[in-house]
Amino acid sequence: MKIRGSIFCFIIVMVALIVLALWYGKKKPVQVPPIASVETNTVPSQPVSAPVHSTTPSAQVASSMANVSNQPTSPVLTDKVALRQEILQANDADIVFYGRLEDQSGNAVSGAAVNFSIQYENPNARGIQHGQVVSDGNGFFTIAGYKGANLGIMPKKAGYALATTGTSFRYSQISPGYFVPDANNPTVIKMWKLQGTEPLVAINKTFKLPYTDVPIFFDLVTGNVVPAGGDLEVIVTRAPGLITQRRQDHGDWSIKFVPVSGGIIETDYHTSQVTFDAPADGYQDNYFVQMSHDDPAWFDNIQKVFFLTSRNKQVYSKFTLDFKINDDPNGAMYFQFNGVANTNSSRNWEATAPQ
């Protein structure tokens, strides 16, 4: 009986297993979607066209950078490239110049060598190109057939000196005011026809003087401070206390230039370098500079260039003056004069002209 019971239990278990097997066999398998980001270190046994990726951090960074490089160009970067191209195109302008050389009397300067230089910068190259043309019998000359951004002109002829300050011309169309040539209105460039040099006295002197509110007289010919007379009287005033650029409350000061028996004209450095004959008129009795503490343009020094006649037109001078007020009331004022003087009652400064 025990054996029959065991056989019966075995049969029941087998039937149950068969039923379960049939039930699972009819159920559809679950599909797991592939994970694209999963990488493996397994090296294929056969060569493949796709590279094998490493799971190291450096490889992941390199892969990310490669993906970034394949992205579309940034709009900002595109704008910068486009702007750069526009600038280069504007700087690659046609260089055409119509000019005429004249002396101080308006006469034509013929047969002069007109040296020129062109600064260029285009998408292909950048640099400076040099050339030369010659003025014709009426002083006319033309420069053409070039491209660039700027043109510089330097005419030369024996017995003449350049007497025009503005010989550089901007052709780049980036900013307004660029040069526009006109064949019917040539640009006049002055050449000074030398009349003969005369002895000149060099003016080159520096003074450090204590502050005083009484006039100071400078003899530019001898380079000395004199009790009276000389060529230039200078009167300085200042507020008490410290006067310095570093203080918010700067302090008032002023300086006045009075020619001794003569007149004064303010000019600029470039004009003074190409002026070989002192002006016959246009002089003022004095020149005054006021520095107020509330002026945004306040400085503790000035740099000026002057034409000066003195001693009843016996002396004609041109010079640069650097002046600095004394910061401390007990400190020294600074004066520096540089230039030339003709002491022969002549307006001739030709000894300073290039020979």
Claim to verify: residue 173 and residue 246 sit in the same structural domain: no
Check residue 85 and give its pLDDT.
63
- What CA–CA distance (Å, rounded) separates 266 from 261? 17
How many folded domains does the chain comprise? 2
Claim to verify: residue 186 and residue 207 sit in the same structural domain: no
Claim to verify: residue 251 and residue 334 sit in the same structural domain: yes
For residue 119, what are the contacts with CB-CB under 8 A and spacing of at least 6?
127, 128, 148, 149, 150, 151, 152
Handedness of CA 268, 272, 278, 279 (dihedral sign): negative
309 is a domain residue: yes
Q: Give CA 71 to chain center in angstroms.
A: 38
3-state secondary structure of 17: helix
274 is a domain residue: yes
According to DSSP, the residues that pair with 92 across neighbouring strands are none
For residue 225, what are the contacts with CB-CB under 8 A and spacing of at least 6?
207, 209, 216, 217, 218, 219
Claim to verify: residue 207 and residue 342 sit in the same structural domain: yes
The tens digit of pLDDT for each residue in 35-46 reads: 333 333 333 434
pTM for the structure as a whole: 0.70
18 is a domain residue: no
Check residue 297 and give its pLDDT.
87
The tens digit of pLDDT for each residue in 36-93 reads: 333 333 334 344 333 434 344 444 434 444 444 455 555 655 666 665 566 666 788 8
What are residue 176's phi and psi, to 5 degrees? -65, 160
Claim to verify: residue 157 and residue 233 sit in the same structural domain: no
- From 164, 193, 222, the end of a domain falls on 193
Q: Which residue range is the domain that position 163 belongs to?
A: 89-193
Query: CATH number, domain at 111?
Result: 2.60.40.10
**Kind and range of the H or E element at 144?**
strand 140-148
29 is a domain residue: no
What is the average per-residue pLDDT within 205-216?
96
118 is a domain residue: yes
pLDDT over 90 (residue 272): yes
Claim to verify: residue 229 and residue 177 sit in the same structural domain: no
According to DSSP, the residues that pair with 134 across neighbouring strands are 113
Claim to verify: residue 95 and residue 187 sit in the same structural domain: yes
Claim to verify: residue 177 and residue 300 sit in the same structural domain: no
99 is a domain residue: yes
Claim to verify: residue 267 and residue 338 sit in the same structural domain: yes
Claim to verify: residue 234 and residue 344 sit in the same structural domain: yes
The tens digit of pLDDT for each residue in 181-192 reads: 999 999 999 999
pLDDT over 60 (residue 26): no
Cβ atoms of 332 and 209 within 8 Å: the answer is yes
